Chain A
Amino acid sequence: MPDLKLMEQQAMKSNRTNPFYLIPYYLWIVLFVIAPIALVLYFSFFDIAGNLTLDNYRNFFSSVYLRLTLSSFWYAFLITLISLLVAYPTAYWLTKTKHKQLWLLMIIIPSWINLLLKAYAFIGIFGLYGPANNLLAAIGSERLQILFTDFSFIFVSVYIFIPFMVLPIFNSLDRINPALIDASRDLGASSWTTFTRVIFPLAINGVKAGIQVVFIPALSLFVITRLIAGNKVITLGTAIEQQFLVTQNWGMGSTIAVFLILFMIIVMMVTGEKGGTINGKIK
């Protein structure tokens, strides 16, 4: 322990004496974090002819974009909820298995495959003559339209996001000191009480992190909305892509992006953790 403190002091000293070393980091943050956001904000105040205006914001509150926002939130909510319902028991079960790291790896590996490839694979799997429908036909059911439905959209999205939900939940569950659970049992708590009063609160930060990692990207999915949902589900991401690439209305695209950033900040504030409690409390 004293070693650590010494090192910390040294580190602080060198920080004080050499602010020079921080320049690359500041540069990085200014160039790649602050500047792009500032540009998005800047462009959002211009209309298509390059005049300074607030029309884009007024336009955003017209019925189309407002309803688009609501439907994006609804689908992102469903995707997050279902991912959580699947991922929590999975993560819990993982902490109980013998070869945790191996199982974890098997869950993570699919996330290394490119999203587009996975989407195209599902076009084949869910097709009228694909494996899913062959299975249905084999058990005597009629062939169903699976592709281009709400079901296929949510299914594929959940499939893609599950590893990102499992990982943080697994980490925080795995860090719980088993002695705490034993203590809870020894003091007469039932398994249910142990779960709701001890395990769940201790792992809540993993759940929050998982919700952030899934909900925020789910708001702006656009590849899957086109390939798997056939554009019958559309999200804010679809609208941004269209404004930039087709309409070339950078102002409106930026305005939607500004709102998306705002929504993300709100989500992060709601689910934010207060000062790294995972390490603080448990270790």
Chain B
Amino acid sequence: MKDLIRASLAIIVISGVLMYVVSLLEDTSSAGGGGTINVYNWGEYIDPELVSQFEEETGITVIYETFDSNEAMMTKIEQDGTTYDVAMPSEYAIEKMKESDLLHPIDLNKITNLENIDPYFLDLPFDPGNEYSIPYFWGTVGIAFNPSLLEGQTFETWDDLWDPTLEQEVILVDSAREVIGMGLNSLGYSLNSTDMGELREATDKLKTLGPNVKAIIGDEIVEMMRREEAAVALTWSGQAADMMWINENIDYSVPEEGSNLWFDNMIIPKTADNVDGAHEFINFMLDAEVAAQNADYVGYSTPNQAALELMDPEVTGDERFYPTEEMRERLEVYENLGLEMLGVYNELFLEFKMDMEK
């Protein structure tokens, strides 16, 4: 018993010392003056040099954390364990957060660099008047493919994925809206469809894709394509850009029936501590040079017109990643379909995984 008490005491003392050391370390790191802001972003979605530059210029310390899905991000902001000052959700998540009253309005007078943004990306249906959000990056959903592993197949239409010569070659991203949306698009329906008949038809059609499906996975897609383990992948434009960065054989195409156009945006959660710091950070990220450097690093498409002029024309002229406005008309933005419809999409996705033809 004595030993047990002694051991417990030792553990308590050691924990106390460790906690003290941690608090000391945190104190010194935030001693820059100007306070701190907590930034909550997708993984690999900012040039870390820019974070240091922001800290130097403003004296504000940035605590940076990452998430890997809109849903996880929203759950964490709702729970309010850590107070985040800036986050980068996608458009449908912003609609949802607005409904749940999780957003702090943005004072556009403080965002002087907003004039750098292409007006096409402002005042969009998910946030009229940019009351709560400022565009960060945008992109599409499409097909990444490696012609060196293929026999001349191209991907102008979604139906090309059903080509019988592609047996066991296609990787799909593990996300219900992207996959079911692709099924809907391939039939000429809207990827925001809520018509059960259309959804049923799309799911049944997807099941026949089974023999060609190699796997349904997440971020591992990038590695698989880089190492030429698979020839074709349904993925986001930015992931495709990541693949192409390493493996030059890879190409990307957005099929002509249409696809998804998405926007990630900077927001300030309602629970933010340092609202002024958050505004400063957002304004900083919109600076032309900063945005150009960031877009170079991240590889996604920037909505920042002034930055585009500073970037390599070979990149900004690439219609695979910067589709012209005319091409964008074929694309659709995800609408927030509500939790119930999201449930239906997921149940159909589960059914598709279960019943894929082998």
- Chain A interfacial positions (CB closer than 8 Å to B): 48-49, 64, 67-68, 71, 123, 127-129, 145, 147-148, 226-227, 230-232, 234, 238-239, 242-243, 245-249, 252
Contacts and interface: CB of A to CB of B under 8 A. Distances in A.
B354 A234 contact: yes
A145 B214 CA distance: 9
Nearest to A150: B358
Main secondary structure of the interface of A (DSSP, over half): loop
Contact of A245 (B71, B223, B347, B354): B71
B125 interface: no
Interface in B325-358: 339-340, 342-343, 346-347, 350-351, 353-354, 356
A245 B69 contact: yes
22 contacts: A64-B347, A64-B350, A64-B354, A67-B354, A68-B354, A71-B354, A123-B220, A127-B229, A128-B229, A147-B229, A226-B174, A226-B216, A226-B218, A227-B217, A230-B171, A230-B214, A232-B215, A232-B353, A234-B353, A245-B69, A246-B176, A249-B339
Interface of B: 69, 71-72, 75, 168, 171, 174, 176, 213-218, 220, 223, 227-229, 339-340, 342-343, 346-347, 350-351, 353-354, 356
Contacts of B347: 64
A199 B213 CA distance: 48
A249 B343 contact: yes
Given A227-B220, A230-B215, A230-B216, A48 B353 contact: no
B351 A64 contact: yes
Contacts of A48: 339-340, 343
Q: Which of A128, A147, A245, A246 counts the most chain B CB atoms within 10 A?
A: A246
Q: Which of B75, B171, B215, B229 counts the most chain A CB atoms within 10 A?
A: B215
Contacts of A123: 220, 223
Given A128-B229, A232-B213, A246 B71 contact: yes
Contact of B217 (A145, A226, A238): A226
Contacts of B353: 231-232, 234
Nearest to B339: A48
A145 to B, nearest CB: 6
Contacts of A226: 174, 216-218
Contact of B168 (A129, A145, A242, A246): A145
Contacts of B168: 145
Contacts of B213: 232
Contact of A148 (B72, B214, B340): B214
A154 to B, nearest CB: 16
Contacts of A129: 227-229
Contact of B350 (A128, A145, A148, A239): A239
Q: Which of A48, A67, A68, A230 counts the most chain B CB atoms within 10 A?
A: A230
A242 B350 contact: yes
Q: Which of A49, A148, A226, A227 counts the most chain B CB atoms within 10 A?
A: A148
Contacts of B356: 232
B25 to A, nearest CB: 26
Nearest to A145: B168
The 6 nearest A-B residue pairs measured at CB: A230-B215, A231-B216, A148-B215, A247-B346, A247-B343, A128-B229
Contacts, number: 78
B346 to A, nearest CB: 5
A69 to B, nearest CB: 11
Contacts of A231: 174, 215-217, 353
A75 to B, nearest CB: 13
Q: Which of B72, B218, B227 counts the most chain A CB atoms within 10 A?
A: B227
Contacts of B171: 230
Contact of A234 (B215, B217, B350): B350
B174 A252 contact: no
B354 A246 contact: no
Contacts of B342: 246-248
A262 B151 CA distance: 52
Given A246-B71, A246-B342, 5 more contacts: A48-B339, A49-B340, A67-B354, A123-B220, A248-B75
Contacts of A246: 69, 71, 176, 342, 346
A148 B172 CA distance: 13
A127 B346 CA distance: 29
B100 to A, nearest CB: 11
Contacts of B339: 48-49, 247-249
A226 B54 CA distance: 39
B346 A230 contact: no
A230 B227 contact: no
Q: Which of A68, A71, A231 counts the most chain B CB atoms within 10 A?
A: A231
A68 to B, nearest CB: 6
B125 to A, nearest CB: 23
A128 B213 CA distance: 16
Q: Which of A68, A147, A227, A247 counts the most chain B CB atoms within 10 A?
A: A247
Contacts of A147: 215, 229
Contacts of B350: 64, 68, 234, 238-239, 242
Given A48-B340, A129-B229, A247-B346, A230 B71 contact: no
A127 B220 CA distance: 12
Q: Which of B216, B220, B343 counts the most chain A CB atoms within 10 A?
A: B343
Contacts of A71: 354
Q: Which of B168, B218, B347 counts the most chain A CB atoms within 10 A?
A: B347
